[in-house]
């Protein structure tokens, strides 16, 4: 194949080509041995057709193809492929009669550097006369693109005092021309150098590798304290530096090294610190450092050399680089009133070997302690006391509880004492018991009673402390027997049954159960008590007793230290029991007995009793009416003669007489000394407890005074029963004053003038209407 290119004069001078202009020649791609055509297997490969880009001679004939076969008819040539009927279209065409291939528009190698086309030889009817032939068109490069830097501005860093030849950074440029030609052969250079601050350095400090674009140091003298950065103006050119050019910028920053040690400025300081305060700032110290601000080469690290007790601390302010001196332990003026501290400083980063060899900078700080009125101090907080709950009032519980660092007089008080159990000496602070304690108080939690003590010095400064009193349980209360009444079967001795007794004790273990139940020796003739367990016992008769009421005196004791005991009288009803052990009614007992009483007789007896009761009620009613109208005239409502106090109270009181006949029918209650009725739930002739006689000085203690008297009365065996009025001071018999019962005796309504009631006002009007004769 013979390819002939038409190349205008002058286009290849830059490449120093010696091409000549030839005439367009025909190529016979289908000839068997055509010159220039290489056979590969069964196909023929035509060498590429080379076309220069950006050609202005368009359309331009590139090559002519012909078939060497002899046809009887006409041969039509067709061309297909990119640039013809495929994108980019309309770049090439073929003359269908002559087979001349030509370019229609200028080509751009940077867009399409080659085209592969298919050529066909066809008959007029469209029949292929030859196999398709491949035509390769290669676009030749022209230096039509300038090189360009990849960045508008390159940034680099170099440490100060770097030696010549130190690599700083690299720059890069690209060229769109063919990299296999000189059109893309780039060369770098530095056009100018500018220091920041301006004119800080005038000598050339940097060089560049013209082939790689690597920038390096050329000279010594890079000092960040003198120059901060450099601005280099760069140039890149293709054709090995002889072609098209572009410019760029590189900024090189000089980085800091720690070549300057911090220095105190000034080196002497005086500050003041108030005693008894901590964790607060008392002063600041200053340093200077020429290294880069805000870096570890500039930031200072302070230390205190001679603070053995670690009373002070110094930290760095990250914004100002000052040393902040603080008190971390409270100072005491009375112990030491002045401190002299020696400070040292260094950078956070180690000092460079290129730094001057200077000693570490130090400073002296004199701290003067300022005295102030300190609050009193308790020797312990909380104040802890262990005391038995039954402590004797007036007992000293705690002494020497506080002191004043300023040695002033102190005043003490108890600011919280909900039970009012404590007293405190206002001058000495000695705490004593005001009353005995009670572990049952709601203010005692886990055996601890809590109060608050306050102490104030002469300057009015006060402190408080918690007082915790650990109460130890003591045996304060005797056990109380219960029940105090019950029933026992008549044949309990035979059936080994009886009345189950127990006891309660207000004390806590170990001063409560187990309980011991006993019958005094002189009263144990007919009864016995059997211990069931630690809290219960069985009271049963030793012999068969008659049906009736019996009073059995019991003694119950706790297991405390010391042992406390209490007597109690148990009222036992001995009855006839059924098969289940329950008491029968009297009717059932009679019916069940062997005594021969007919039913009719029993009905007559019961009817007679009912009639007698009815007559008794009528007599009482008549007597009451007679008393109301039997008031003497002129004597007044409250004047009259005393009448007998008639009371019908029946008491069955059975002493342990062993089958003796019981006395039933005393018409008067048993009287004690002074005419008082006696209680049946306690034995007689036992000593009475001491009653509170001294009225309280403080009106707020009146409740405690009344409660103490009530508690003493409840445990007094010699007072009247619970349903009887309590007489605190009995004045004896034979009073000249008339009885209140005389209100209803001595005169009648007819003899009395009640008109004066109308003069007493509206409050007595209703009473006046009752006695109005109209």
- Concatenating the DSSP letter of every residue in 486-502 gives EEEETTHHHHT--EEEE
Label residue 427 by pLDDT band (50, 70, 90).
Answer: very high
User: Considering only 145-154, 318-327, 351-360, 622-631, which range has the smallest mean pLDDT?
Assistant: 622-631
Quote the pLDDT of residue 369: 94
What's the rounded mean pLDDT across residues 575-594? 63
- The fourth-level CATH superfamily of domain 480-575 is Cadherins (2.60.40.60)
- How far is residue 481's CA from residue 522's CA, in Å, rounded to a whole number? 20
377-472: same fold as 263-370?
yes
Listed by start position, the domains of the chain span 49-140, 148-255, 263-370, 377-472, 480-575
Could you tell me what percent of the chain has a pLDDT over 90?
34
pLDDT value at 624 more than 70: no
Q: Which residue has the higher pLDDT, 510 or 740?
A: 510
pLDDT value at 585 more than 70: no
Quote the pLDDT of residue 682: 54
| Tokens read off for 585 | 């009614």
What's the rounded mean pLDDT across residues 424-445? 90
Of 58-62, 244-248, 478-482, 763-767, highest mean pLDDT = 244-248
Topology given in CATH for the domain delimited by 263-370: Immunoglobulin-like (2.60.40)
Tens of pLDDT along 170-201?
A: 999 999 988 888 999 999 999 999 999 998 89
What's the rounded mean pLDDT across residues 155-168? 93
Q: What dotted CATH number matches 148-255?
A: 2.60.40.60
**Nearest 10 degrees: CA dihedral of 237, 241, 244, 248?**
20
pLDDT value at 651 more than 70: no
* Architecture per CATH, 377-472: Sandwich (2.60)
pLDDT value at 45 more than 70: no
SS3 string of 681-740? Answer: CCCCCCCCCCCCCCCCCCHHHHHHHHHHHHHHHHCCCCCCCCCCCCCCCCCCCCCCCCCH
Q: Which residues contact 759 (CB under 8 A, 6 or more apart)?
A: none
- How far is residue 568's CA from residue 186's CA, in Å, rounded to a whole number? 127
pLDDT value at 81 more than 70: yes
Could you tell me what percent of the chain has a pLDDT over 70?
75
Residues found in the chain: 774
pLDDT value at 736 more than 70: no
pLDDT value at 574 more than 80: yes
Quote the pLDDT of residue 681: 55
Q: Which residue has the higher pLDDT, 135 or 702?
A: 135
pLDDT value at 97 more than 90: no
CB–CB of 704/711 below 8 Å?
Answer: no
Q: Which residue has the higher pLDDT, 577 or 10?
A: 577
CB–CB of 297/255 below 8 Å?
Answer: no
- Which single residue is written with the structure tokens 């019950």? 486
Q: Residue 83: exposed, middle, or buried by beta-carbon count in 10 A (0-12, 13-18, 19+)? A: buried
Label residue 509 by pLDDT band (50, 70, 90).
Answer: confident
DSSP assignment letter at 86: B
pTM of the entire predicted model: 0.42
Topology given in CATH for the domain delimited by 49-140: Immunoglobulin-like (2.60.40)
pLDDT value at 664 more than 60: no
* Phi and psi torsions of 276, nearest 5°: 65, 15
pLDDT value at 9 more than 50: no
Quote the pLDDT of residue 34: 47
Quote the pLDDT of residue 234: 96
Label residue 593 by pLDDT band (50, 70, 90).
Answer: very low
Quote the pLDDT of residue 582: 77
Question: Buried (b) or exposed (e) across 654-667, using 16+ Cβ within 10 A?
Answer: bebeeeeebeeeee
| Tokens read off for 380 | 């312990």
- How far is residue 503's CA from residue 481's CA, in Å, rounded to a whole number? 4
Tens of pLDDT along 458-497?
A: 888 899 999 999 988 777 788 999 899 988 888 776 677 7
What's the mean per-residue pLDDT of the chain?
79
User: Considering only 435-449, 517-531, 728-742, which range has the smallest mean pLDDT?
Assistant: 728-742
What's the rounded mean pLDDT across residues 53-71? 80
Quote the pLDDT of residue 64: 84
What's the rounded mean pLDDT across residues 600-621? 85
What's the rounded mean pLDDT across residues 563-570? 89
Report whether the peptide linkage leading into residue 562 is cis, meaning its omega lies within 30 degrees of zero.
Answer: yes
User: Considering only 377-386, 683-692, 737-746, which range has the smallest mean pLDDT?
Assistant: 737-746
User: Considering only 235-239, 258-262, 346-350, 737-741, which range has the smallest mean pLDDT?
Assistant: 737-741
């Amino acid at each position: 194949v013979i390819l002939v290119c038409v190349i205008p004069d002058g286009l290849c001078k830059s490449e120093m080509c010696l091409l000549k202009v030839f005439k367009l020649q025909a190529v016979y791609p289908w000839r068997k041995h055509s010159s220039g055509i290489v056979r590969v297997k069964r196909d023929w490969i035509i060498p590429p057709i080379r076309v220069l880009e950006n050609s202005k001679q368009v359309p331009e004939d590139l090559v002519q193809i012909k078939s060497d076969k002899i046809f009887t008819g006409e041969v039509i040539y067709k061309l297909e492929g990119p640039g013809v009927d495929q994108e980019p279209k309309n770049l090439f065409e073929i003359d269908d009669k002559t087979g001349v291939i030509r370019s229609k528009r200028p080509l751009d190698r940077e867009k399409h550097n080659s085209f592969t086309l298919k050529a066909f030889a066809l008959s007029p009817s469209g029949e292929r006369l030859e196999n398709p032939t491949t035509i390769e068109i290669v676009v030749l490069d022209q230096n039509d693109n300038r090189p360009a830097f990849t960045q508008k501005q390159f940034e680099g860093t170099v440490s100060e005092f770097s030696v010549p030849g130190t690599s700083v950074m690299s720059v890069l440029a690209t060229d769109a021309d063919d990299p296999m030609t000189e059109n893309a052969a780039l060369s770098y250079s530095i056009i100018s150098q500018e220091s920041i601050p301006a004119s800080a350095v005038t000598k050339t400090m940097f060089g560049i590798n013209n082939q790689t674009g690597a920038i390096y140091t050329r000279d010594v003298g890079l000092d960040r304290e003198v120059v901060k950065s450099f601005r280099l103006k760069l140039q890149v050119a293709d054709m090995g530096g002889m072609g098209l050019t572009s410019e760029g910028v590189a900024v090189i920053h000089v980085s800091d090294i720690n070549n300057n040690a911090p220095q105190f400025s000034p080196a002497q300081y005086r500050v003041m610190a108030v005693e008894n305060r901590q964790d607060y700032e008392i002063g600041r110290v200053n340093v200077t450092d020429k290294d880069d601000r805000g870096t570890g080469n500039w930031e200072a690290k302070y230390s205190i050399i001679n603070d053995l007790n670690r009373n002070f601390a110094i930290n760095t302010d990250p914004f100002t680089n000052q040393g902040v001196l603080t008190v971390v332990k409270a100072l005491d003026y009375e112990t030491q009133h002045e401190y002299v501290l020696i400070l040292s400083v260094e950078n956070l980063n180690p000092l460079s070997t290129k730094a001057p060899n200077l000693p570490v900078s130090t400073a002296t700080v004199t701290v003067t302690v300022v005295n102030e009125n300190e609050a009193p101090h308790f020797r312990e907080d909380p104040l802890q006391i262990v005391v038995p709950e039954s402590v004797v009032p007036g007992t000293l519980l705690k002494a020497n509880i506080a002191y004043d660092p300023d040695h002033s007089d102190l005043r003490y008080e108890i600011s919280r004492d909900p039970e009012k159990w404590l007293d405190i000496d206002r001058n000495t602070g000695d705490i004593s018991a005001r009353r005995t304690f009670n572990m049952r108080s709601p203010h005692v939690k886990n055996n601890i009673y809590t109060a608050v003590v306050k102490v104030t010095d002469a300057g009015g400064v006060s402190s408080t402390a918690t007082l915790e009193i650990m109460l130890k349980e003591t045996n304060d209360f005797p056990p109380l027997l219960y029940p105090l009444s019950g029933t026992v079967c008549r044949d309990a001795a035979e059936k080994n049954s009886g009345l189950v007794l127990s006891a309660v004790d207000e004390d806590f273990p170990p001063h409560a159960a187990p309980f011991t139940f006993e019958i005094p020796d002189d009263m144990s003739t007919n009864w016995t008590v059997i211990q069931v367990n630690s809290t219960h016992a069985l009271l049963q008769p030793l012999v068969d007793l008659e049906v009736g009421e019996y009073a059995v005196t019991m003694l119950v004791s706790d297991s405390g230290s010391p042992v406390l005991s209490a007597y109690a009288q148990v009222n036992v009803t001995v009855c006839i029991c059924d098969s289940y052990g329950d008491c029968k009614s009297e009717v059932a007992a009679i019916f069940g007995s062997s005594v021969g009483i007919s039913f009719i007789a029993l009905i007559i007896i019961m009817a007679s009793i009912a009639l007698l009761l009815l007559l008794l009620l009528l007599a009482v009613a008549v007597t009451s009416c007679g008393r109301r109208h039997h008031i003497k005239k002129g004597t007044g409502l409250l004047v009259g003669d005393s009448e007998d106090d008639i009371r019908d109270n029946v008491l069955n009181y059975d002493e342990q007489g062993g089958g003796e006949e019981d006395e039933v029918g005393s018409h008067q209650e048993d009287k004690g000394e002074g005419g008082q009725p006696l209680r049946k739930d306690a034995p007689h002739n036992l000593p009475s407890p001491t009653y509170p006689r001294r009225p309280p000085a403080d009106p707020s203690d009146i409740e405690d005074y009344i409660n103490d008297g009530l508690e003493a009365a409840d445990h007094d065996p010699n007072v009247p029963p619970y349903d009887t009025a309590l007489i605190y001071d009995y004045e004896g018999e034979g009073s000249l004053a008339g009885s209140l019962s005389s209100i209803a005796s001595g005169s009648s309504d007819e003899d009395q003038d009640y008109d004066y009631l109308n003069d007493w006002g509206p409050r007595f009007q209703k009473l006046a209407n009752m006695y109005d004769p109209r």
